[in-house]
Structure 1
């Protein structure tokens, strides 16, 4: 029991150290206002979640950066929604609709003409300055890709319990400022919601064609680093927000995707993480004296407060809901495991 206790405490200290590093280094996208004389090709991936698409398109048109082309990439859409989006595109020839297999991005190299390639999820909303600021990071630091993690918009208690888990795992496992300094693929946690790439490097190295189908665009950062190019992961700050629908299944799926991504699909390692994060502190709380609990409680409290400030969340709610969020993390892992087992079972059957 002593060995187990020390293991959990060491793990808590390591997580706290990473969170503290992220908090002090403040890895947020900063503003850069002067416009660049460059062009950007934007690919918006639509996964039957068109409720926020028109808002996203309007936010792109409102950008201070005007030299862009937008491809709305979808596999299926309700007829009425498809007509609405087509009408929007008819008013501005910079916007186009392309229908196809969402896992196949090979067409982008043929259609995109911009100096930079931006990949956006349809359930995001961008604010003025995002494109310019991302181009600045890419050009000044000579990188192949910049990944920006959107700030989540939490509309319900259910989302408050599930959606912050992605940022929680990211910020207590990955020192984001070090991603740019080291080219090792080990430091390559990314997301598919907002990515900006150097188009020439992307098409020359065939990054889109080499993507792992199971990870999709989230696999781009690893490929960039494998080709010895610089990469960076930043928090969205006030530039981009994630606007998910009020749907329990969608929220759990989003957190599950992040869990698989951060552990490179290795659910055994993910189990060790979840066990040490959820079950470990619980066992210590039930067995030990209150005097011994001061250290783990303090580390957990300070970590949650720092993550809340980094992700523009209410620190009071983050601390109060932490126990429930940890229960949901266990639920997310179980669903991710069952989903993977079901998928592998179908593949063996075939």
Structure 2
């Protein structure tokens, strides 16, 4: 018998477990169907940004960045966190108008965001082809880190609190029993008072086991990485209209990806040559220095999308959910982990207001997060 069961061993589930342990609760069991960070977390680009179009995402991201800044001090692990900044590139007038609104709101929220003209971008970053560029924004406090190292750091710290983490253990069914939950896995059965859905790409299926309809769909997103060169590109470059993001790792490799408007929902981890051709052609145009680099690896992961591209956070009784991150769970994990842990133990959040992100919002008009690739 455990007080809390968590389904999902990605960055969200492990962060929730860690913050629960930090708040003094150790009667917790976490289930991961494969290995830790095997889902969306370990397949993401590792970006951590605060430049969003929705105020709620800005606030969650700011709270997360404060934690990432002290991550190594608090958990004793170097997760390769660097605040090299995010350069957001606008290529049409509609995007310029959106960026201008975003920056006003972001500055009101306390973010130090620069607005750069095309000429300023060209002067500061002469290795970028600025043909067609209208403007850009830059926030130095944005950055990136290693998703695997961060996930394992949270998990190992949770274990130190006495929390049980079971990998290669898939949840097959969940049954309500005398006010508790019976969790049936491929290895056994467990009883928990509280259940947390942090299953990422499989969030909808876990919700159905509980009789809770979660409006999430998972879509394949592909990424590839090049051979390494000397490190000179400390920021993440991203364009929403041109549909790309790219950063250089500390080891010199370039990681880049894009979305596919024709992608069908479902778990699909195959990769396509079409992606490689489209990505290579586009990225060499904007970043000519990539022309001679070879692609080393190519993989795919999932965006667990919500209808408004914002996370779905909250509870139905003793069933809690932290899902639908729309490709941004890694960067929001510290704030979300803290908030869900507080909500479970205290019935309210103490640091981040997530009340507007629960399921009830889908009954009304939605605010769509625009800053998504």
TM-score normalized by the length of structure 2: 0.25
More strand as a share of residues: 2
By percentage of residues, which structure has more helix? 1
